[in-house]
Structure 1
Amino acid sequence: MSKSAISELILHRSPVVMRDSATVQEACKIMHQHRVGAIIVVDEQKRPVGIFTGRDAVNRVLANGLDGKRTLLREVMTEKPDCVSPDWVTLDALRQMSDCGYRHLPVVQDGKIVGLVSRGDFRLMDQVRLDEETGYWERI
């Protein structure tokens, strides 16, 4: 993996965000519609205050018998998630996710959410590079 910046991964995608007053059921519906594994929970100024993931839905909601229709994100989200800036090196972000045991990392610039990277983004990036290299060698 090269020393490219996180900004390359988030260039054409907007993060899925919700307020902490949304219910778990609403969040899960949005995650399903957008085919994402996490939602960034933001305040009025679009500053990240938490993150809610599919793992949270299972481990903090379903496993504890909570009702997704009544449980609010503020009750089960991970507060104050670690964040990175768009100029972070992709390998450093992947290392942080691996070291800390999470799959999603919010990207923040000037205090506001600008993206979200997941471990899957790095697999896709590697596949694109592999395809490029294969094409190069096929032309030789």
Structure 2
Amino acid sequence: MTNRPMQEIIVRRTPVTLPPDATVQQACQRMRDSRIGAVLVTDAAGRLLGIFTGRDAICRMLAEGRDPARTRLGEVMTPRPECLGPRARAIEALRLMRDCGFRHVPVVDGERLLGIVSRGDFQGTEQARLEEESHLWERL
């Protein structure tokens, strides 16, 4: 099933979004309450501006001693994150995450935000295909 398109994977989930002036504390509370690892940062029109992840909370907040109640998402988000379109395939998302070293990829159609996928959204067969591909490249 490595050919599943992103639109099939994100169909049952509304992405958690916050504006860039929301605080990091608000973002972390939403992530905790929703049991997710990332929030998407959007403007008033719903266009994707950035992404804030648990890794950002550690590297850009805790490690730097910043106050999460006073720090705005726009200051510490990853701006203009790598994205995929709704027709991209599961294996493309997995490759992108592996190659770029992240666990979440927003899905957009032009400027319209559709959702987000994370490594955990993919089935065992999709993960196995990526591992198989990686092993083939290592042998070459």
- Give the TM-score range, shorter chain: 0.7 to 0.9
| Secondary structure at the counterpart of residue 88 of structure 2 | coil
Q: Is the contact between residue 20 and residue 41 of structure 2 (CA under 8 Å) also seen in structure 1?
A: yes
CA distance in 1, matches of 2:65, 2:111: 35
Residue 33, structure 1, aligned to residue 27, structure 2 = no
Please state how far the C-alpha of 1:123 moved relative to its aligned partner.
4.3
Q: Is the contact between residue 2 and residue 126 of structure 2 (CA under 8 Å) also seen in structure 1?
A: no
Q: Quick check: which has more Rg, 1 or 2? A: 1
Per-residue Cα deviation, 1:75-123 (whole angstroms, up to 9, x for no partner): 1000001111111011011101110111000000131111000011114
TM-score (norm 1): 0.86
Structure 1 runs (4+) greater than 4 angstroms displaced: 123-127
Unpaired segments ≥5 residues, structure 2: 128-140
Which residue of 2 is the match for residue 22 of structure 1? 22
Query: Structure 1 residues 125, 35: closer, same or farther in 2, change over 3 A?
Result: farther
CA distance in 2, matches of 1:10, 1:24: 25
Please state how far the C-alpha of 1:45 moved relative to its aligned partner.
1.1
CA distance in 1, matches of 2:98, 2:17: 24
Query: Structure 1 residues 111, 125: closer, same or farther in 2, change over 3 A?
Result: farther
| Superposition map of 1:108-123 within 5 A | 108-123=108-123
CA distance in 2, matches of 1:33, 1:124: 27
CA distance in 2, matches of 1:121, 1:98: 14
Q: Is the contact between residue 45 and residue 112 of structure 1 (CA under 8 Å) also seen in structure 2?
A: no
Residue 42, structure 1, aligned to residue 42, structure 2 = yes
% same residue: 49
| Superposition map of 1:27-106 within 5 A | 27-106=27-106
Please state how far the C-alpha of 1:3 moved relative to its aligned partner.
1.0
| Secondary structure at the counterpart of residue 64 of structure 1 | coil
CA distance in 2, matches of 1:40, 1:117: 11
TM-score (norm 2): 0.86
Q: Is the contact between residue 107 and residue 115 of structure 2 (CA under 8 Å) also seen in structure 1?
A: yes
Q: How many residues are treated as equivalent by the alignment?
A: 127
| Secondary structure at the counterpart of residue 41 of structure 1 | strand
